[in-house]
A and B are shown apart, each in its own frame.
Chain A
Amino acid sequence: MKLFEFEAKEIIRGYGFGIPESILIKKGDDVEKKIRDSGIEPPLAVKSQVLVAGRGKAGGIKLVKTIEEAIETTRALFETPIKGIKPSYILIEKAIPHEKELYVGLVIDRNDKRPLVLASQYGGIDIEEIARTKPESIIRYPIDPFVGLRSYEARLIGKKIGVTGKALGSFERFLLTLYKAFIEYDAELAESNPLAYLNDRVLPLDLRITIDDNSLYRHKDFAKTEKERLGENTEYEIKGHELGLAFVELDGDVGILGNGAGLTMTTMDLVYGFGGKPANFLDMGGGADAEHVKQCVSFLLQYQKAKKIFINMFGGITRADEVAKGIIMALNETGIKKPVVIRLTGTNEEEGRKILEEAGIEVFNDPIEAAKVVVSR
């Protein structure tokens, strides 16, 4: 789960690292009163709090020189969709004049199975772009998960990206603080880009933290707020997550349901291969019973984008008769009619086939043939 910039900054501030003075405006607040009462002085950066990449380029950050301009810009930004998403919060921050911008981030190295510091003297552009244009500038420093990040290591990394003098101590404190947040918030990503390099200190102008979804049970305050986080997930995806479904929205019109992530992805690939376009990814998981299958199928029947549905099920632990029962229940209970193509094989295949055929639904054994048929309908 991605945190908003203001949430990530709140965490860092809470750990005692100084960040630019700011005020947070919520949608519906009296914008003028809140800004004037805060006593914050221009120049200011007015920042739309949306969870989409490339916010700056998309017009989500404005620099203003007067309070009047700040009020006007804040009002305008609330009405400005950034990549389709209107913000619920605007962060107004003291603009800090600076000449140099750095990049520093923490990720998990999948292969080395440990935290990895990424740092570069070229901040302010996407790390992907830095990796493409100046790969030699990126410092990669692995951290022993049992020892953690030591102060000397933070200084070493700072030196390597050109931080010197008084600012080096500030960089050290910042990186240790970021690491603390990375660990305590079970993050899969914690980064500052840009990190402003001033004469005597560093200052995170932007800050991003992404919490590992599997750890959300340890961070319940954030777990409750998925609904407010439009931009990371679509409305229908959030609806699916609330039902506990592994659902991803896509742009096509063929609803996809499979059992197991790999098989479900392969089902999408097959549909694509025959010229169709999947409307979604939905994995019913392993060992689904009729009730769970019903929930999944109903969800796709009610999903506007899916004009037809392809169910691809390989029965191992999941039983074909349970899947068949679930499909019939969903069709009956929702009363929604869409072309449904089903490939059913494996455990209790015969019973499953019988249940579906008695209800007049055609069942395929070969997924290739089924994929061709669903695309043609």
Chain B
Amino acid sequence: MAILVDEKTRVIVQGITGNEGSFHTKRMLEYGTKIVAGVTPGKGGTKIFDIPVYDTVDEAKREHPEADTSIIFVPAKFATDAVYEAIDSGLKLVVVITEHIPIHDSIKFITYARSKGTTIIGPNCPGIISPEKSKIGIMPGNVFLQGNVGIASRSGTLTYEISNVLSKNGIGQSTVIGIGGDPVIGISFTEVMKLYENDPQTKALVLIGEIGGDAEERAAKMVEERAFTKPVVAFVAGKTAPVGKRMGHAGAIITMGSGSYKDKVETLRSVGIKVAETPFEIPKLVKEVLK
């Protein structure tokens, strides 16, 4: 098992012929991801890495009805349209890598996706990987190892760093999902936790949060209410970030008196979640909770 993606997942890459799209398509293929088609308007009928390219997602889906997932590498100005196209073609999971999508666009396509039963990961995210099964994202595949720890993260590189240190300590991962650094994103920590709760492979959860918003507080509430019953280890980035400044991610900002490091860590600890002081403490804490 794993959550959301595994060896059976069949992927369409939107924006497959662009710089980012083609670079990461190659990496995903090398990892073993089953990519069945690509889409770039105007490039229909061509091939890249032996993958057929179509003008529209609709055509790609008709020719490859087994496709169930899309990953989007389309530039921000056009990404919103690409998301609607994926939803309307009936794809069940859409991974939006693109950064800098206007927030008013995101709130609409996320609401629309919900009404159609499509799950959105992102925007502004590194994607999702179920190690040794499927990688649908831009993460370096070599830092992951299959195992029984689920990871949900608001950050990209920090996730690689933490997965790497876990793997080096012999602690593998069931699925690692980067939910994205924007203020408004599709799948949330709590929705991911519901999936991990029901995944028999996952024995513990590592939550990688950061300042801004209240995603960590909501995760803590779920633990408190026993809606999530597996052990959790957390890390929160931005202990020393100033108030009112965006720290790289659009969503990493302390505002309206909320979203501070202190509040998050206190709330997490109050429900018994172990919070690491640095990312490098995480393997030790995971070993403790898995005992």
Residues in chain B near residue A258, CB distance under 8 A: 157
Which residues of B lie under 8 Å from residue A287 when comparing CB positions? 20, 23, 138
Flag whether A196 is at the interface (Cβ < 8 A). Answer: no
Question: Which segment, of B86-94, B198-206, B233-241, faces chain A?
Answer: B233-241
Q: For this complex, into which size category does the number of interface residues on chain B fall?
A: 35 or more
Give the docked Cα–Cα distance between A90 and B184 (Å). Answer: 36
> Which of A110, A188, A269, A316 lies in contact with B157, CB distance below 8 A?
A316
Tell me, in angstroms, the Cα distance from A114 to B107 when the chains sit together: 6
Q: Which residues of B contact A283 (CB under 8 A)?
A: 248
Q: Total number of A-B contacts with CB less than 8 angstroms?
A: 161
Q: A12 on the interface (CB 8 Å rule)?
A: no
Say whether B188 contacts A111, CB under 8 Å: yes
Contact (Cβ within 8 A) A214 B101 = yes
**CB contact list, A83-133 vs B, under 8 A:** 107-108, 110-111, 113-115, 127-128, 131-132
Q: Are B157 and A265 in contact (CB under 8 A)?
A: no
Contact A128 B103 (CB under 8 A): no
Type the 1/0 row for B255-267, where 1 means its CB is closer than 8 Å to any CB of A.
Answer: 0110000000000
Interchain CB contact (< 8 A) of A346 among B77, B140, B213, B241: B140
Say whether B155 contacts A286, CB under 8 Å: no
Whether B214 contacts A111 by the Cβ 8 Å rule is yes
A146 contacts the other chain (CB 8 A): yes
Q: Which residues of A contact B138 (CB under 8 A)?
A: 286-287, 317
A316-B158 in contact (CB<8A): no
B166 to A: closest C-beta gap in Å = 14
B181 at the interface (CB under 8 A from A): yes
Task: Flag if B108 contacts A261 (CB, 8 Å).
Answer: no
Q: How far is the CB of B36 from chain A (nearest CB, A)?
A: 23
Instruction: Report the bound CA distance from A115 to B107 in whole Å.
Output: 9
Interface class of chain B by DSSP:
loop
Name the A residues within 8 Å of B153 (CB-CB). 262
Point out the residue from B104, B139, B155, B239 that lies within 8 Å of A262, measured CB to CB.
B155
By a CB distance below 8 angstroms, the chain B residues around A204 are: none
Which of B1-9, B64-72, B273-281 forms contacts with chain A?
Answer: B273-281
B237 near A146: Cβ-Cβ < 8 Å = no
B222 at the A/B interface (Cβ < 8 Å)? no
Report whether B104 and A183 are in contact in the complex, using a CB–CB cutoff of 8 Å: yes
Shortest CB distance A241–B (Å): 11
The verdict on A270 contacting B278 (CB below 8 Å), with A261-B247, A263-B155, A265-B248 known, is yes
Per the bound structure, the CA–CA distance linking A40 and B92 in Å amounts to: 62
Chain A residues with CB below 8 A from B164, complex form:
314, 346
Instruction: State the Cβ distance, A308 to closest chain B Cβ, in Å.
Output: 17
Residue on B nearest A218 in the bound complex, by CB: B102
Q: A108-B103, A265-B237, A266-B278 are in contact. Are A131 and B257 (CB under 8 A)?
A: yes
B143 at the interface (CB under 8 A from A): yes
A-to-B contact residues, CB < 8 Å: 53, 107-108, 110-111, 113-115, 127-128, 131-132, 145-146, 183, 186, 188, 212-215, 217-218, 246, 248, 250, 258-266, 268-270, 272-273, 278, 281, 283, 286-287, 314-317, 346-347, 367-368
**30 sampled A-B residue pairs with Cβ under 8 A:** A110-B213, A110-B251, A114-B111, A131-B257, A132-B257, A214-B76, A214-B100, A217-B77, A248-B246, A260-B158, A260-B248, A261-B181, A261-B210, A262-B154, A262-B237, A263-B155, A263-B161, A264-B247, A265-B211, A265-B237, A266-B278, A268-B241, A269-B239, A281-B245, A281-B247, A287-B20, A287-B23, A316-B139, A316-B140, A368-B280
Q: 3 tightest A-B contacts by CB?
A: A262-B155, A260-B157, A261-B248
Excluding A111-B214, A218-B102, A262-B249, 7 further A-B contacts by CB distance (< 8 Å) are A110-B213, A113-B106, A145-B107, A212-B102, A260-B248, A286-B126, A315-B140
